[in-house]
A and B are shown apart, each in its own frame.
Chain A
């Protein structure tokens, strides 16, 4: 799956222009209102951002992973809240259906998601985070249906969702990963209630909250792929791609931070000269530039391998580990270069510094990536 290069250049141009002209000028508004105005969400739908990774035959654009990485890099040029609004549709919310869904599920759901119905991914629970296989939410068989009961936590876009993909334990006799199924649950299904919106350190405008399922009735046909007990495997496949996505996003964000820091350093004068002329400032800029380029090279190489269907579990984890830690350091230096101004909300780097902190945590913490990488190394050692 990929778009031909000539068309892709046009797609990328269209998106980078949209980001520059419509999203960047609205960043402060998102921060102040802690929400994305309906008209901007509508424009994002119209331009087609929700369907980026959905295959063309189901109404999407059908980008390859390499192409998705380049587009997400562009989305990284502005507040992460915008990316987050479409992120669940591009990634974790839709990809389960794209990768493992039945033909019927794809035909029914994917065109809706491509058009902009928000898909939300419900895995995390109050007691289930990194240990994703210990999901406590249950799906109890009742005739041809299942009744889902449990609480999901920090669910991104739950308030905007038209549909959830929910990980629930459907096989009570199987412990751990094999007992989990992935259900497609329309958001208007009776028995779903939303908790209050979470207050977060950053990424204002991104909406997360608890989603509580109380004997929520869904047909057995809503299990992704139609086969129970495969949910965890589906989730892991989705996360592989998701990690490359988050890595590309980190690289885009780093680019914006470096640009802002460089512009400030060229403008700000101390000791009678622009601070960019001082070598200690130059060192911070050079370190950021180097690390950002290294991360981007790693992401592009791994995305290419993903597209060539080479195994990329370890590569994706390496990317997520390096790129998200990198953007943390780049953001920290950007604030440092800004000096006192960098601590003020008036300057964008203050906000981005808070925004990027989450990148090292969600879709697998840095520590989980380290474990994934080391496990893969051991596997290679043992042949």
Chain B
């Protein structure tokens, strides 16, 4: 079984992001970029499936500018076998990503596709679900545990009320949650070896996919600053403040 993992190049999770002065987006100049942490969990899960003999090949795919190749190299250093870079400098929204991944699925015929549940830049949480719909295959989102049993997968999902276990037919789409696994560090020798693994370059045009944006960003703003709270002496004051100041009751 081939496993396809989608990996996105995003602002590193340690970076304090700043909104551009004109409110059109986030300032990316000289900002450290790395692999979306949820995608890293996806790569780790795929590599573990291969190590357990459940997967035969792990393919990683990234969509973005030329530098997205670095993200693919990181995934290859973690143990993926080969990469596909769909090169574009345009903004690619979740629906377009899902369409591009669908085109890759048609070509590669994977038994399982893993995406992060969301990317830490736009937090859309849509790509995996849309891909499942376009591909016409089952989906198991927010995975906490994954068991492959023949042509089925048992997936423990993280839901609001706790955990839910579902069984789905393969091929299918899985999206990772934070506790699915703890990704390994790419070791230095494996980073050296990853240099020799193949990365295939494609473009949205070569895949015949229209990636034109359907959504328009109107404005990007910093979240409001949190102000200090106050201590109240008793419940009566609290209730009064909730009525008069907070206006919630």
Contact = CB atoms under 8 A, between A and B. Distances in A.
Interface string A2-25: 011011011101110110101000
Contacts of B186: 10, 14
Nearest to B69: A6
A47 interface: yes
B28 to A, nearest CB: 17
A49 interface: yes
Interface in B141-183: none
Interface string B70-101: 10011001000000000000000000000000
A226 interface: no
Contacts of B1: none
A17 B14 CA distance: 10
A51 B73 contact: no
B191 A7 contact: yes
A59 B188 CA distance: 11
Contacts of A6: 70, 73
Given A10-B74, A61-B188, 8 more contacts: A7-B73, A9-B70, A10-B186, A14-B186, A22-B185, A48-B187, A48-B189, A56-B192
B188 A49 contact: yes
A9 to B, nearest CB: 8
Interface string B191-203: 1100100000000
B189 A18 contact: no
Contacts of A20: 14
Most chain B C-beta atoms within 10 Å of own C-beta, residue among A15, A43, A48: A48
A258 interface: no
Interface of A: 3-4, 6-7, 9-11, 13-15, 17-18, 20, 22, 43, 46-49, 51-52, 56, 59, 61
Nearest to B77: A10
Contacts of A17: 185
Nearest to B73: A10
Contacts, number: 47
Interface residues of B, number: 14
Which secondary structure dominates where chain B touches chain A?
helix
A77 B186 CA distance: 20
A17 B186 CA distance: 10
A7 B7 CA distance: 19
Interface of B: 14, 34, 70, 73-74, 77, 185-189, 191-192, 195
A7 B185 contact: no
15 contacts: A7-B195, A10-B70, A10-B73, A10-B77, A11-B188, A13-B34, A14-B77, A14-B186, A15-B188, A18-B185, A22-B185, A48-B189, A51-B188, A59-B189, A61-B188
A68 B195 CA distance: 20
Contacts of A4: 195
A351 B34 CA distance: 33
Contacts of A22: 185
Contact of B188 (A9, A43, A48): A48
A138 B77 CA distance: 47
A14 B77 CA distance: 10
Contacts of B195: 4, 7
Nearest to B195: A7
Contacts of B192: 3, 7, 56, 61
B184 to A, nearest CB: 9
Contacts of B191: 7, 10-11, 14
Most chain A C-beta atoms within 10 Å of own C-beta, residue among B14, B70, B188: B188
B75 to A, nearest CB: 11
B189 A61 contact: yes
Contacts of B185: 14, 17-18, 22, 43, 46-47
B199 to A, nearest CB: 12
B117 to A, nearest CB: 22
B43 to A, nearest CB: 14
Contacts of A14: 77, 185-188, 191
A18 B14 CA distance: 14
Nearest to B34: A13
6 A-B pairs with least C-beta separation: A48-B188, A48-B187, A47-B187, A48-B189, A10-B191, A61-B188
Contacts of B74: 10
